[in-house]
Amino acid sequence: MPQANRLELIVQKLEALARDAQQLASGGNGAHGANGAPLQRAIRVLPLTENETEVARQMQICNACRYCEGFCAVFPAMTRRLEFGKADVNYLANLCHNCGACYHACQYAPPHEFAVNVPQAMAKVRVETYAEYAVPSFMGALYRRNGLTLSLALAFGLALFLVLGIALKGPLFGTPLAGNFYAIFPHNLLALLFGVVFVLAVVSLGIGVARFWKDASAGAASGAAASGAIPEATRNALTLKYLDGGHGDGCNEADDRFTLIRRRFHHFTFYGFMLCFASTVVATFYHYFLDLHAPYPFASVPVLLGTLGGIGLLIGPAGLLWLNIRRDPARGDAAQKPMDRGFIALLLLTSATGLALLAWRDSAALAWLLAVHLGVVLALFATLPYGKFAHGIYRCAALLKSSIEKRQANSLKLGSE
Ligand code: SF4
Ligand code: SF4
């Protein structure tokens, strides 16, 4: 065959392949390929953002290197892939928790020309994930100006309760009310306000994570794999397994040394938050089912849970803030500092104002302290789906997918698992 004809044939075949790819990308079930055979699978091919492209590039390098395989769940998951599409990149980015181990160990980190900095690249994609799956979608913009978002939410929460308190009770400094919060803000008003905000936050985050899950694991999870994976993923999330660096000595903070301190402060924060939540649940149960109304004595279950939780929520966020300030800036995304520190500050304010309220609940400052505490808690609840809190939820989904994936056959047969 003459050279020109052969070239024309190659071009025609390439054009036919491109048409097939376009039909697949547009999700056209029932479409037929250039050879007349039906195109079996409909896949979503979405363009990668600049940050996602950078993660994909670095994962290609890591996939050839594999030095960091034992550090965390990201690298074993990476070895199951040869190419990294949008869903893969989003999944891996949320599986990473920015421990820094791979950056400090990397021989290809800057100033090497490969410029591999996995924690930084992953951090930039993570925040894009939260914004992309935010519900409603226009609220995704709040991640970009998160410091401002948290400040405005806090100002609004404080103003609302201070004005409401004055409207309902008059001056907020006055006669002691023996710790009776409901003499200032009626119980039903608080239950309705916080109930609505909390449910909206849960629904918004829940829908966002469900959409992330659908994209990240499309068609991947069989029932058997999922049932075995759930306990493992729960254990990994509750123990923060991957903050041990993969060798038990912990992750890196300011330099090459390993430390478990970040894991400890995360635990104080998480379990402090859960104890405070448990305190609220028990108090609600007392109120509605046992007809026992606040204020509860210091030795009661709600107050003990709240006090322990408040102390945990004081130690944990204070430690995380200290670590955040000391952390090697090269491995993070500087643009996210307001989001990280703003969320930590809100947690700190929540526990500090809660404990102050408990300590001075029999004083004339009760109404003022209560208004401030409620304003802070409202700001925290309202911004849960649009700030750093999303990290915990998306990470749990990524951990579950990782545990499911481990139980499935690796079609590449190249991995290390
Ligand atoms: S981070 Fe660096 S050392 Fe680790 S696997 Fe990737 S290229 Fe290799
Ligand atoms: S920063 Fe830590 S968690 Fe993230 S990929 Fe590197 S080793 Fe894994």
One DSSP character per residue, 54-121 reads: HHHHHHHHHHHH-TTTTTSSHHHHHTT-SS--HHHHHHHHHH-----HHHHH-TTSTTSTT---HHHH
Cα 82 to averaged position of ligand 2 atoms, centre (Å): 19
Nearest atom in ligand 1 to 114's CA: 7
The ligand with the least distance to the CA atom of 94 is: 2
Specify the residue with its C-alpha closest to ligand 1, atom 4: 68
Cα 378 to averaged position of ligand 2 atoms, centre (Å): 33
Q: Is 33 left (phi over 0), alpha (psi -120 to 50) or beta?
A: beta
pLDDT digits (tens, 9 = 90+) for 197-239: 999 999 999 999 999 999 887 555 566 666 788 999 999 999 9
Q: Which helix (H) or strand (E) holds 259?
A: strand 258-259
> From residue 92, how far is each of 32, 56, 64, 217, 405 by CA, in Å?
33, 10, 17, 12, 12
Cβ neighbours for 347, distance < 8 A, ≥ 6 positions apart = 269, 273, 313, 316, 317, 380
> Both tokens of residue 218?
């499309």
* pLDDT for res 178: 73
The ligand with the least distance to the CA atom of 262 is: 2
Alpha helices by DSSP H, 327-388: 337-359, 366-383
Specify the residue with its C-alpha closest to ligand 2, atom 2: 99
Specify the residue with its C-alpha closest to ligand 2, atom 5: 96
> Both tokens of residue 105?
């160990």
pLDDT digits (tens, 9 = 90+) for 45-74: 678 999 999 999 999 999 999 999 989 999
Nearest atom in ligand 1 to 105's CA: 3
CB 75 within 8 A of CB 228: no
The residues pairing with 117 across neighbouring beta strands, listed in sequence order, are: none
Q: Which helix (H) or strand (E) holds 126?
A: helix 118-132
Cα 70 to averaged position of ligand 1 atoms, centre (Å): 11
> Both tokens of residue 296?
């509860």
Q: How many residues does the chain have?
A: 417
Per-residue pLDDT tens listing for the chain (417 residues): 555 455 455 445 545 554 554 454 444 444 454 445 554 444 456 789 999 999 999 999 999 999 999 899 999 999 999 899 999 999 999 999 999 899 999 999 999 999 999 999 999 999 999 999 999 999 999 998 899 999 999 999 999 999 999 998 888 787 777 778 888 899 899 999 999 999 999 999 999 999 999 988 755 556 666 678 899 999 999 998 888 877 888 888 888 888 999 999 999 999 999 999 999 999 999 998 999 988 899 999 999 999 999 999 999 999 999 999 988 888 889 999 999 999 999 999 999 999 999 999 888 888 999 999 999 999 999 999 999 999 999 999 999 999 999 888 776 665 444
The ligand with the least distance to the CA atom of 63 is: 1
Ligand 1 within 6 A of CB of 106: yes
Ligand 1 within 6 A of CB of 62: yes
Ligand 2 binding site (Cβ under 6 Å of any ligand atom)? 68, 71-72, 74, 96-102, 118-119, 122, 242
How far is it, in rounded angstroms, from Cα 331 to Cα 358? 40
Ligand 1 within 6 A of CB of 118: yes
Cis peptide upstream of residue 38 (ω within 30 degrees of 0): no
pLDDT digits (tens, 9 = 90+) for 135-167: 999 999 999 889 999 999 999 999 999 999 999
* pLDDT for res 337: 93
Residue located via tokens 């994930």: 129
Cα 224 to averaged position of ligand 2 atoms, centre (Å): 28
Quick one: CA dihedral 79, 82, 84, 85, positive or negative?
negative
Cα 60 to averaged position of ligand 1 atoms, centre (Å): 10
Ligand 1 within 6 A of CB of 122: no
Please, which contacts does 74-81 make with residues 24 or more away whose CB atoms are closer than 8 Å? 74/102, 74/118, 74/122, 75/102, 76/402, 76/406, 76/415, 76/416, 76/417, 77/402, 77/405, 79/412, 79/414, 79/415, 79/416, 79/417, 80/405, 80/410, 80/412, 80/415, 80/417, 81/412
Q: Which helix (H) or strand (E) holds 192?
A: helix 187-216
* pLDDT for res 177: 72
The ligand with the least distance to the CA atom of 332 is: 2
How far is it, in rounded angstroms, from Cα 360 to Cα 349? 16
How far is it, in rounded angstroms, from Cα 288 to Cα 178? 21
59, 79, 89, 99: which to mutate for ligand 2, most atoms within 8 A of CB? Answer: 99
Cis peptide upstream of residue 295 (ω within 30 degrees of 0): yes
How far is it, in rounded angstroms, from Cα 217 to Cα 415? 19
Residue 24: what residue type? Answer: L
* pLDDT for res 7: 44
